[in-house]
Amino acid sequence: MLKQVKIFIICLFLALFAGQAALSAQIRPELQSRLDVMSQSDEIPVIVTLRDQVNPQAYRKLSKRLRQKKLITDLREKANRSQKPLKNLISLFQGRKFRSLWLVNSIAFTAKPRLIKRLANHPAVASVKLDAVVTLSPQTMNSSSLPEWNIDAIGVPDLWNLGYTGQGVVVANMDTGVDFDHPDLMNSWRGGSNSWYDPNNEYALPHDSDGHGTQVMGLMVGGDAGGSAIGVAPGAQWIGVKIFNDQGEASLSAIHLGYQWLLDPDGDPLTDDSPDIVNNSWGFPEQLNQCYQEFLTDIQMLKAAEIAVVFSAGNKGPLPYTSVSPANYSESFAVGATDFTDTLSDFSSRGPSPCDPDGVFPDVVAPGVSIKTADLTTIYGIPNVNPYTSVTGTSFAAPQVAGAMALLLSAAPTLTVTDLENIVRQSAWDQGLTGPDNDYGSGFVSLPGALALIPGINLCISDLDVDGDVDGSDVFVFAAETGRFDCSETTPCLADLTNDGAVDSSDLSLLLDDMGRSDCFTSPVP
C-alpha cells in the first residue's frame, strides 16, 4: 500500500511539473520576465495567439479574386468561432482594450497577471506574448542629391516611354504616415474610408508628423511638381497605414492590425480594394541575425491573397550575418542599397538569413544613397518652403522596387506575386560574386530587363534614347546604364565592340547579346 502511495505522489508531482513546463512554454520569455516583477494588481498589454490557424497554402488553386474573398471569409469565421470562449474569459477577468487580430487568429488586450496565467494554460492557446513596441530607426539625411539619378539608374524612363507609369495599380506603405498635402502625393491618394488606416487612432485622414513615410511614398508614386520626377510609378494610386504613432513607436498589435486592414480595407470581403503591393521600410535591428517570426503569418496571408510584400533589408552592414526580421523571411522580398556607382553601401545588411540559410539575402539591390524625394510640407506648424529632401538607407531602396513592381503590373496586370518576384530577380544586373550572393542578392534592379521577361509584351527597348532609331546614341545610353562609363563622344570607347572605328547599331547588338537583351521584339508567350 505504501509503495502505491509513493507511486501516486511521484505521478502527481510529474503531472504538476509537466503542467508548469507547458505553461512556461506558452508564456514568451520577455513577458515572463515582466510578470516576475509585477504585482497582481498591475496590468500589461499582451497578445494571445490561438492554435487553430488557417492554412494559406489551401487557396493556391483559386483565382485571385475568389482567393481573396474566401481567405478573408475563412479567417474571420475561424477567429469569431475559436476566440469566443477566450473573449468570455477575458471579460470575466476584466481584461481591457480588447482587439481581435483575425488575420493571425490572435487577441490583443490589457490584463493582470492572474488572467494571463489562466489563458496560458488554456488548451486552445498556442502562446501569450508581450505586446511589445517597435521604435522607428532614425534615417540619414543628406544636404544634396542628383535629381532623378536613381530613376535613370534602374531604367524607369524606358517603361514610362512605353506608356507604363503604374496606372491601374494600388500601392501601400506601413510607416509613419503620409503627408497628404504634398503636391507630389495629394492627387494620387485613392481616397475614401478604405484608403487610410491609423490603428493608433491619432489621425482620421492621411498625416505624417515624422517624414519617413512621406519620403518612402514619394519614391513609390511621387510626381514632378518640384521640377524633377521623384517617384518610380507616378501613375499608381496609394493608400497608407500609419503603424508608428507620433512618438515613433508601433506596438506589435498595431502592426498586425495594419496588415489585417490591408487585406480587407473596407471590411467587406466581396469588394476588391486591397493594394497590389505594400512597402515596409522598418524592422527589428536590435534582433540582429535572428529569425523573429512575429509577422510571418501576416505576410504569408497577404501573399496568399496576391499582395506583394517588399521590405528594406536593414542598415546593419557591412559585415555578413546582419539581416533583420521581417525582411529576412523567405516570404519577404528584401532590398539592399547601392550608391550612384552601383556599389553596395557599407550600411546595407548582408546575409545569409537565419530564416532561410540556404537562400540568398537580400533579394536584390537598388539605389539607396543621396536619393531625392518628398518631405513634409509643414514642420512644427511652419510651412516648409522646399518640401523635398535627400535621404540615404535601405528604407529608400525598397520603395523604388515596390514602385518598379507597380510599373510591371501596369504593363501586365495578370502577373502573380511569384511572377513579379522572379522577373525582378532574374533580370537584375549581376553584381559582386558571379551569380546570386549574400551581398547584392540577385543583383541591381533593371526595369527594361524585367519588362523583356514578361511574355507577350511588345517592346523596342533598344531605342534607349527614344528618338525612333536604334543607332550609336543608344550605345552610350546603354553603356552608362550598365556601368561602362568610359564611353564618350571624344575619347576612345569600349562601346566600339566591333572594332570598326564607329560606335553604331552593330555595337549595340553585341551589347544586347552580352547582357541577354534583344532588339525590337515581342517577348515570347510560353
Q: State the catalytic residues.
A: 175, 212, 395
Extended strands (E) in 184-244: 196-197, 237-242
CA distance 37 to 34: 6
Q: 481, 479, 517, 515: which is closest to 495 by C-alpha?
A: 479
Whether 135 and 282 have beta carbons less than 8 Å apart is answered as: no
Q: Of 365, 349, 310, nearest to 154 (Cα)?
A: 365
Residues 115 and 43 sit within 8 Å (Cβ to Cβ): no
Rg (CA), the chain: 26
Do 72 and 269 contact (CB within 8 A), yes or no? yes
Residues 6+ apart with CB under 8 A from 35: 27, 44, 113, 116, 117
Amino acid, single-letter form, for residue 214: T
Question: Which residue type sits at 372?
Answer: K
Terminus-to-terminus CA distance in the chain, angstroms? 79
* Residue whose grid cell is 560606335: 503
By CB neighbour count within 10 A (0-12 exposed, 13-18 middle, 19+ buried), where does 324 fall? buried
Question: Which cell is 36 given?
Answer: 516576475
**How many whole angstroms separate alpha carbon 103 and alpha carbon 488?**
56
Q: What distance in Å separates the CA atoms of residue 256 and residue 105, rounded to the nearest whole number?
A: 10
Distances in Å between the Cα of 16 and the Cα atoms of 10, 20, 119, 124 are 10, 6, 17, 19
Nearest to 190 by CA among 154, 208, 166, 216: 166
How far is the C-alpha of 340 from the C-alpha of 147, rounded, in Å? Answer: 12
Distance CA 300, CA 292 (A): 15
Please, where are the H alpha helices in 27-97? 29-35, 64-92
**Helix 2-26 vs helix 113-120: crossing angle, to nearest 10:** 110
* Residue-level length of the chain: 526
Distance CA 189, CA 239 (A): 6
Which of left, alpha, beta for 168 (phi over 0: left; psi -120 to 50: alpha)?
Answer: left
- CA 379/CA 141 separation, integer angstroms: 15
CA–CA distance, 102 with 127 (Å, rounded to integer): 15
